[in-house]
């Protein structure tokens, strides 16, 4: 068996390998990648003790099985320290409980961290700029259903309504990242069943990953 390589980031800083490495595999190809890379940038929450790397998908396949394979491949190829972390970031709205249960079991066995948003990553973004307490129960039910109309989901439409525009292919993260601490507190407040492997109601476990990145 060939020996594993030492991971070399595309943007290397001095003392890089003394930092904890957080490897992230995401269901989305643009929104999540830009969000996490900008979050860890010097403009916002650059932490010399943490280096993040968002894995690039080479195909359009976005099922949880394909996402977890990205982490598997990285783990096989590179040497990791005991304090390094591998994270899987996925949405709940496209996958049933049975599929999520299987993926959650695999993550536990492989010691991967799992951050599921219910219904989608856009819920996590919304928590930066508005409290869900401001919505009626009927509106919250529409969010959890997150029906797509005219190429936008309900949550995407809500972001457009509040911000004036929202481009998920190239999101303006400056609209969200200054408020990440607020989003963390709001998401944690909604996480009333933290022992469950994913949010069973409207919520997002991305706050756990965000906390680790900014070392809060």
CA-CA distance, 8 to 168, in Å (whole number)?
A: 29
* Confidence label for 12 from pLDDT (cuts 50, 70 and 90): very low
Structural domain boundaries enclosing 134: 19-214
Under a CB-based contact definition with an 8 Å cutoff, are residues 81 and 58 in contact? no
Range of weakest confidence among 2-16, 37-51, 77-91, 151-165: 2-16
Within a domain: 5: no
* Confidence label for 11 from pLDDT (cuts 50, 70 and 90): very low
Within a domain: 9: no
Within a domain: 52: yes
pLDDT tens-digit profile of 14-52? 445 578 999 999 988 899 999 999 999 999 998 888 999
pLDDT tens-digit profile of 106-150? 999 999 999 999 999 999 999 999 999 999 999 999 999 999 999
What is the number of structural domains in the chain? 1
pLDDT of residue 184 exceeding 70, the answer is yes
Under a CB-based contact definition with an 8 Å cutoff, are residues 206 and 187 in contact? yes
Within a domain: 167: yes
Check residue 9 and give its pLDDT.
Answer: 53
Beta strands in 59-165 (DSSP E): 78-79, 85-91, 113-118, 148-149, 152-153
CA-CA distance, 71 to 76, in Å (whole number)?
A: 9
Percent of the chain with pLDDT over 70: 90
Within a domain: 163: yes
Within a domain: 6: no
Q: 135 is written with which tokens?
A: 């919505």
Within a domain: 122: yes
Within a domain: 126: yes
Average pLDDT, the chain: 90
């Amino acid at each position: 068996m060939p020996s594993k390589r030492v991971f070399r980031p595309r943007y290397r800083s001095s003392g890089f390998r003394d930092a904890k490495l957080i490897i992230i595999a995401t269901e989305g190809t643009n929104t999540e990648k830009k969000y996490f890379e900008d979050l860890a940038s010097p403009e916002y929450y650059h932490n010399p003790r943490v280096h993040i790397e968002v894995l690039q998908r080479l195909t359009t396949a976005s099922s949880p099985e394909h996402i977890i394979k990205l982490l598997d491949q990285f783990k096989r190829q590179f040497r990791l320290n005991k304090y390094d972390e591998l994270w899987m970031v996925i949405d709940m709205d496209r996958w049933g409980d049975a599929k999520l249960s299987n993926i959650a079991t695999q993550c536990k066995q492989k010691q991967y961290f799992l951050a599921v948003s219910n219904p989608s990553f856009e819920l996590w973004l919304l928590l930066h700029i508005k409290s869900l307490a401001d919505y009626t129960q009927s509106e919250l039910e529409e969010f959890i259903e997150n029906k797509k109309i005219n190429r936008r989901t309900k949550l995407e439409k809500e972001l457009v309504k509040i911000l004036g525009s929202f481009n998920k292919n190239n999101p303006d993260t400056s609209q969200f990242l200054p408020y990440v601490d607020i989003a963390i507190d709001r998401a944690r407040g909604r996480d009333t069943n933290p022992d469950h492997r994913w949010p069973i109601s409207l919520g997002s476990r991305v706050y756990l990953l965000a906390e680790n990145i900014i070392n809060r």
